Each structure stands twice: as structure tokens, then as C-alpha cells.
Amino acid sequence: MAVQLYASRVILQQLGEVDYGIYSVVAGLVALFGFVNASMTSSTQRFLTFHLEQGDPARLKQIFATCIHIHVLISLLLVVLAETLGLWYLRTHMVIPPERLQAAFWVFQLSILSTVVSIMTFPYMADIIAREKMSAFARISIVEAVLKLLIVFLLTVALMDKLVLYALLVVGVQLVVCFCYKGYANRRFDESHYRFYHERPLFREILGFAGWNLWGNTAAVMANQGLNLLLNFFFGPAVNAARAVSVQVQSVMMQFANNFQTAINPQITKTYSAGQLPEMHQLVLRSAKFSYLMLLALCLPLLFEAPFLLDLWLDKVPAYSVVFVRLMVVITLIDMTANPLMISAAATGRVKVYQSVVGSVLLLIVPVSYLVLRTGAEPWAVYVVHLAVCCVAYVVRLLLVRPMVQLPLGRFVTGVLLRCLLVTVVASALPLLLWHFQPVEGLWGHLLMLAVCVAAALAGAYGLGLSGEERRFVLDKIAGLLRRGKK
């Protein structure tokens, strides 16, 4: 997280506001054409995890080979769509200064290559996560962070076009990460050694599961990249730079929560596969609640001190960044607590109704945002639309998942939603009082506010967010760490 924040600061300084916005929107256009992969990644994860619990090594090899074939087809589809429709949109509709069109073209081509490498990496990553080898996942993540620091250094000393160089270096990082995941999986897991295998029913089963996921994931990609394109169309690359800042903040928060959820998601699928529904329900509730409570310690300071933190982080803060970040923080809090519901639905394999309904709701974000911007609204209005639709989608998810896995809806509402709301209200009270009665001025004033926000969030989470059993568990873990530290 620290590397990502530092790298974003230096990259914005080195590229400049316009080039940073160009990279964000051009790379986002390529990601938009990678919407098929978003659906396939969850399918690969689900099938590998589910069949690991079944204990059939031969079937696991067949599933892995089939997933590789599908990812190859997705890569080819991405290249075809990007080099035709994507290139046409880049040249005819994007708002890019004429002198930067050539650089944008090469960023587009390198982003295609980077996305293809990422697509082909995922089956190996999914295998590592399905087998819950989190230490390997952590070590490769550290390698990736070090390489991102190297990118920052090279940008500061480069003499060539820094926008093109940045895109080229991102491809290099993706290649190294791909080789790391593939090398580890090949050494440890027999099924990850590719062997040609084709079984039409299995191919159709995995692709069919991915097909229904496609609708929901298309909506998610459209919400992220579609809004980026809308902001470029109405306001130009400078506003894209502000959105890129808010997306970087979102990425850091999601990485923080996703690393926790990555460890618990395979257990949700495995307990469902084993028919252990009460254990699965407990995992879902705790995953949602713990994700929110951990994120709140990051989000509360951002909500109160966004101007100070952005000034501290960035050399020059793009216009609209503060309001973008604050709204994105709230959206992320909602989305991360919804993820366990999505994993629960995927575990059943019956995602047709879930994905079609939730996806249809989320697809409203872009057209409604377009209509709002056509009325002359400010750029931040698209975030308000996004937030409103996410709230509606959350309610829909709960109603759909409840009968699919017999989820105790009352326990979820009282144990997760109301408890998290109570923690948020109580934790916000002290910072609000401090903000109202003691104007925050100077460095020490801002640092005091940050400390109060973090302390209030942690105290509220411990005192009101956790049950008695969970508090005892936390205390035992802290005591164990202290004992090891003394040794």
C-alpha cells in the first residue's frame, strides 16, 4: 500500500496532470474490452476451489487445462476488439491534445499487451489462492511492489517520452509477475503443468458459468471505465487525472480488504461444497463485518482530512480530487461488504438469476450518469449516481443470496449492517465534535485529527463491532505476538 501511494505521487509528478489523465483513460479503454476476462476470473477461482474440496486430482488437471484454453480465447478476443473498435474510438472520440496522440497510440498498444499477460497469469494465481498458499501470494506481491518502485526511479532519470516509457515498464512488471506465479505453481502443483485436454461438456459448463458472470462483471467494468470515458468526453483529460487519483485511493483500500478476503473466500466455497452451511454463513458474516471495520480505520481519516492528505501525498492536487475521493471512499465501503455475498452466490454455481438481476441494476450507472451530465451537472455527480445505484444493488444482492444458500437475513442485517452503522456513527462523533469546536489548523492540528479518527474507529470496532468471543480472540492474538516479540 505504501509503495502504491508513493509511486502514484511520483508518477503524477513525472507525467504531469494531462499525461497522467491520458494514461488513465487509454488504459481504461483497453480494460473496458477486457470485460470478458472479469467474468472468467471468478469462474476459474470457483471451479478450482470447488473441485479441490472434492479431492479428484485428475479432474482438477482437466479443469485447469480447460481454463487455460478459455483464457487464450479471451486474450484473442481482447486483441481483436481493442485493435478495431478500441482504436477507432481512440482516434475519433477521445479528447486528447493533438501533440500527444502518437504517445497515446503506443500507450494503447502496450496496454493491450499488459492486459493479455495479466489474463494469462490468472489461472496460476487462482490455483495458488485456491490452495490457500498465502505466503507465496504475499511474497510475489512484495516482488511486484519492489518493481513498481523501480519504475518510479527509472521515470525520474529517463530521457525519452515518459508516458510511453511508463506503459512499457508496466508491461515488464506484468511479465515478471506472470513468470513468478507460473513458476511457483508449476513447482508445487501438478495440475498447473499444462496438458492438452478438451472435453466439450466441461468447456460448456465453465463457459456457461462465466457467461452469466459476464453480465454482472460487464456492469462493474462499465461502471469504472465507462464513467472514465464519460468524464473524458464531457470535461477532458484533466478531470480524468482527478478520477485517476480517486481510483488509486480506491485501489489501495480494496487491496487492503481484498487481501483479507482472498484468504477467506476459498473457505466460503469449500464449506459450501462440503455441505457445511452454518460454517459458511459464519464466514460470510465475519468476512463482511471485518472488512468494513478494518477499512473504517482507513476511511474515516480520509473523509475528514481528504484535503490535507491529498496535499501531503501529491505535489499538485487535480481539481475535484477531494470530492471524488470522499465519495469513492463511501462506495468502496459498501462494495467490499457486498463481496462475500457474491462469493456465496458463485459457490453454488447457480448464478443465472443473481448475475442477470444485479448486473442489470449496476448497468444503470453509466446511462443515468450520461443523462445527469447532459443536464450540465458537475463531474462529481457521476459518483453520486454510482453510490445510489450501489445501495440499490446491495439490497438486491441480499434478497437473491438469501434463498440460494439459506443465508440468515436477520443475522446479516443485525450482525453486519446495523453493527457497522453503529460503529460508524459512534466513531464519527468525536472527530465531528473536534471539527466543530476546534478548527483544524497547522500540521499538528491535522495530525491530531488523524489520530482521533483512527483511534475512534479502532475503539468503536473493538467495543461495538466485535462480539465477546471475537474480542477474546483478538486479545489472545495480540498476547501471542507480544510473547513472540519478547523472545
Show the cell assigned to 213.
458472470
321 CB neighbour count, 10 Å cutoff: 24
323 CB neighbour count, 10 Å cutoff: 17
pLDDT the model gives residue 33:
61
Question: How is 377-437 classified by DSSP, letter by letter?
Answer: --TTHHHHHHHHHHHHHHHHHHHHHHHHHT--HHHHIIIIIIHHHHHHHHHHHHHHHHHHH
Assess contact for 40 and 71: CB atoms under 8 A.
yes
109 DSSP assignment: H
Identify the burial level of 461 via C-beta atoms within 10 angstroms of its C-beta, where 0-12 means exposed, 13-18 middle and 19 or more buried. buried
For 208-230, how does the pLDDT look when each residue is reduced to its tens digit (9 = 90+)? 766 666 666 667 777 777 888 88
Region class of 365: left (phi > 0), else alpha (psi between -120 and 50), else beta: alpha
Assess contact for 4 and 251: CB atoms under 8 A.
yes
Region class of 132: left (phi > 0), else alpha (psi between -120 and 50), else beta: left
Show the cell assigned to 268.
466460503
Q: Quote the CA–CA distance of 227 and 221 in Å, as a whole number.
A: 9
Contacts 24+ apart (CB under 8 A), 372-380: 373/230, 373/234, 378/320, 379/231, 379/234, 379/235, 379/239, 379/242, 379/320, 379/324, 380/320, 380/323, 380/324, 380/327
Q: Rg of the chain's alpha carbons, rounded to an integer?
A: 23
Q: Quote the CA–CA distance of 356 and 367 in Å, as a whole number.
A: 17
| Whole-structure pTM value | 0.72
477 CB neighbour count, 10 Å cutoff: 10
Q: Quote the CA–CA distance of 276 and 85 in Å, as a whole number.
A: 47
Q: Quote the CA–CA distance of 126 and 50 in Å, as a whole number.
A: 12
pLDDT digits (tens), the chain, 487 positions: 777 777 777 777 788 777 877 777 777 777 666 555 555 666 777 777 777 766 678 888 888 888 888 888 888 888 888 888 888 888 887 778 888 888 888 988 998 898 889 888 888 888 887 787 878 888 888 888 888 888 888 888 877 888 888 889 989 999 999 999 999 988 888 888 888 877 788 787 777 766 666 666 667 777 777 888 888 888 887 888 888 888 888 888 887 777 778 778 888 888 888 888 989 999 999 899 998 998 998 889 989 888 888 888 877 788 888 999 999 999 999 988 888 888 888 888 777 788 788 888 888 898 999 999 999 889 999 999 999 999 999 999 999 999 988 989 889 999 899 999 999 999 999 888 887 776 667 777 888 888 989 999 999 988 888 888 888 877 887 777 777 766 6
For 314-332, how does the pLDDT look when each residue is reduced to its tens digit (9 = 90+)? 777 888 889 999 999 999 9
